[in-house]
Structure 1
Amino acid sequence: MAIFTMRMEPKLISSVQNPLVKKVLQLKEKSRERKKTGLFVVEGQREIELAQKGGYMLQSLLFCPEIMDSATIESFIKASNPEIIQVSEGVYNKIAHRGTTEGVLGLMLTKDHALEYISFKNKTPLVLVAEAPEKPGNIGALLRTADAAAVDAVLIANPKSDLYSPNIIRSSVGCLFTNQIGVGTTDEIITFLQTNQIKIYCAALTASKNYVDCDFKAASALVMGTEATGLTENWLKNSDQNIIIPMQGEIDSMNVSVSAAILIFEAKRQRGF
C-alpha cells in the first residue's frame, strides 16, 4: 500500500474504465459485493472522520485534488495506513453521489454486528429496537435519533436492508458509525434483552399504556415495528408492557422514526438528561 506524503505522489486514476472505479461502483450498488468483500463506500469528509472515530478501518482513500487539497487528506491517514489514490474530476463525478461537494471517498472494512459484541457501560441501558426496518430513510432517521439521545445500543431484528447501503449511510448523516449496533433475529434479540434483564416496551395499539405513565428509568428497550404491520406476535408475547402515543387526529400512527424519538426523549427526560 502506498503511503501519502509530500515527497510521494499517489497514483492517479483518470479513466472511468479503471478496475478500481468499477469496484467502487459495484460496492455502492450491490449488497452482495459488499458482503463478499467486507468493504463498503463512505463519501465525504465528515462521514469518513466519524467512521474512523467509530473504529472502522480505512483501506483506501480516493480524492479529487481539484476539489479537496492534499493537506486535508493527511488528516485521514493518522489512524490507519490506507492506500491513497488521486482521481480526476470526471472519475470522481462518476463514483460520487454528491458530485463536487466533498472531493473524497473511502473504502472501509465492515464490522461484525453480532449481539455477542454488544456491551453496556452502565447498569440501566436504554436500547432502541427496530423490527424488520426496510426503508433506508427510516433506518437513517432512527440512527440519527439514537445518536442525538446517546442511547446505549440500537438493535435491528430481521433486517430487510443492508446496513452499509449508501442510502442508509447518507440518510443517517454518518450516525451509522456513532451508534453501537447489533443485528439478530427477533428471537435472538428477545433472549439477549431478557438475559441482560432489560425490560421490553413494545409500541403497539392493543393492551397498551400511555407512554408518559411508564417508568423508563430502569434498563429499558423501546421496540418499534414497521408502520405497515407493526410488531410480530413474538414481541407482543414477550413484552413487559405495551406502550402507545395517544393520537388526537384522524390517523392512528406516525412515522416510525418520529414515534421512536418521542419515546426515547421521554425516557431520557425521566433519567434527568
Structure 2
Amino acid sequence: MSKPWHTIRTMIERTATAKGRATSGYFSIEGTRLHERALRADWWPTAVLVRQSVWQNPGEREAAVLQQLATHNIPCHPIPNIEMDALTQGRQLGGLMGLLPLPQPIDLAQWLATHSAPTLLAAVEVVDPGNVGGMLRTAHALGADLLVTVGGSDPFHPRAVRTSMGSIFKLPTVSITLPELFAALQTTAVQTIGTVAEGGVLLPQLAVSTGGTAVFMGSEYWGLPAELLIRLDQRVTIPMIDGIDSFSVNAAAAIVLYELQRRK
C-alpha cells in the first residue's frame, strides 16, 4: 500500500524541471528558513514532507513551523530519513520540503499601469538557477519593484528558490518574451538600459529617467545579444580596473541597482 508521503514526494520530484513545474502548477521549497519566510509572507504550502527525525524530535524553529501549518490544516507527512536525503541530495537545511502552487501570472502591461516610475530587473537568458536566485535576492534588497525573466531564466527552479533566501515570496516576478516585454514598455516612460563590458555610458555618468528604469542583464557567457542592445535607450559600462573584462551577472546587477537606488 502506498504511504502518504509517496504521492507528495513524486509531486516534489516533478518540480525539479521546468516542464514538471509548468504541467503540475507547483514549485517546491526546502528547509526551515524558506518555510518560515513563506509563511511570514502568507505563502501557504499545499503539503509538507518532514524528515522522520525532525518529526519525532523537532527543534524550536521546526516546531513553530509545524504548529503554524497545523493551525492552517496543511497536511504534513513524515518521510524516512534516507528518502529525505535522496530528495535533498544530502543538503541539511532543516528537514522540511514543501509543495506550493505557482503564483498566478502577472499581466505586465496592467502592472506597469499601476506602478509609477518602477525599477525592473530583467534577466535575459541567465541560465544558472543560482544566478537567477541571487539576482532575485539582490533586486529585493536594492529596491527593485519587479524581476522579469526571459528565456531560460527561471526563478522557480529549486536552486533559484533556495538561493533567493525567501525573496521569491517578497518580490513579484514575471516570465515573458522579449517582444512582449518591449510591447508593454513602449507605452510607458520607463527607460531601458543594459550593461556592456565596454563602450557604454559610464555608470556614474548615466542620466536616470524620472519615469523609471528597466535594467537588462544578459547571459553569464555572452551578455546581452546585439539585436536587443540596439533597442535599448542606453548601454551602460561599469568602470573596472585593468585586466578584468567583466563582473559576474549578479555583481553587475547589484552595482547598477545600487546606483539607481542611491539616485532616488
Q: TM-score, normalised by structure 1?
A: 0.82
> Matches of 1:120 and 1:175 in 2, distance apart?
24
- Tell me the residue number matched to 2:48: 61
Secondary structure of the residue aligned to 1:32 is helix
Change (3 A) 1:83 1:200: same
Candidates 113, 119, 126, aligned match of 1:126: 119
Candidates 3, 9, 21, aligned match of 2:9: 21
- Tell me the residue number matched to 1:138: 131
Is 1:188 the equivalent of 2:151? no
Alpha-carbon deviation of 1:262?
0.6
- Tell me the residue number matched to 2:101: 109
Candidates 232, 242, 249, aligned match of 1:256: 249
Cα deviation digits, residues 111-132 of structure 1 (max 9, x gap): 2334436357652211111211
Secondary structure of the residue aligned to 2:236 is strand
Letter in 1 for 2:27: F
Q: Answer whether contact 2:32 2:93 (CA < 8 A) is retained.
A: no
Letter in 2 for 1:92: M
Candidates 154, 160, 173, aligned match of 1:168: 160
Is 1:155 the equivalent of 2:145? no
> Matches of 1:94 and 1:230 in 2, distance apart?
36
Letter in 1 for 2:56: E
Identical residues among aligned pairs (%): 24
Q: Answer whether contact 2:190 2:209 (CA < 8 A) is retained.
A: no
Letter in 2 for 1:189: L
5+ long unaligned stretches in structure 2: none
Q: TM-score, normalised by structure 2?
A: 0.84
Deviates more, 1:186-195 or 1:117-126: 117-126
Is 1:87 the equivalent of 2:87? no
Higher helix share: 2
Is 1:269 the equivalent of 2:256? no
- Tell me the residue number matched to 1:42: 29
> Matches of 2:141 and 2:95 in 1, distance apart?
27
Cα deviation digits, residues 101-153 of structure 1 (max 9, x gap): 41222111012334436357652211111211101121111111111112111
Q: Answer whether contact 1:56 1:111 (CA < 8 A) is retained.
A: no
The count of residues paired between Structure 1 and Structure 2 equals 255
Letter in 1 for 2:252: S
Is 1:245 the equivalent of 2:232? no
Q: Answer whether contact 1:114 1:184 (CA < 8 A) is retained.
A: no
> Matches of 1:269 and 1:242 in 2, distance apart?
19
Structure 1 stretches of 4+ with a deviation exceeding 4 A read 12-15, 97-100, 119-122
- Tell me the residue number matched to 2:19: 32
Alpha-carbon deviation of 1:250?
1.2
Alpha-carbon deviation of 1:214?
1.4
Q: Answer whether contact 1:217 1:270 (CA < 8 A) is retained.
A: no
Q: Answer whether contact 1:118 1:182 (CA < 8 A) is retained.
A: no
Secondary structure of the residue aligned to 1:195 is coil
Q: Answer whether contact 1:115 1:184 (CA < 8 A) is retained.
A: no
Secondary structure of the residue aligned to 2:9 is helix
Alpha-carbon deviation of 1:56?
3.5
Change (3 A) 1:119 1:60: farther
- Tell me the residue number matched to 1:197: 189
Q: Answer whether contact 1:152 1:180 (CA < 8 A) is retained.
A: yes
Q: CA RMSD in A?
A: 2.7
Alpha-carbon deviation of 1:22?
3.4
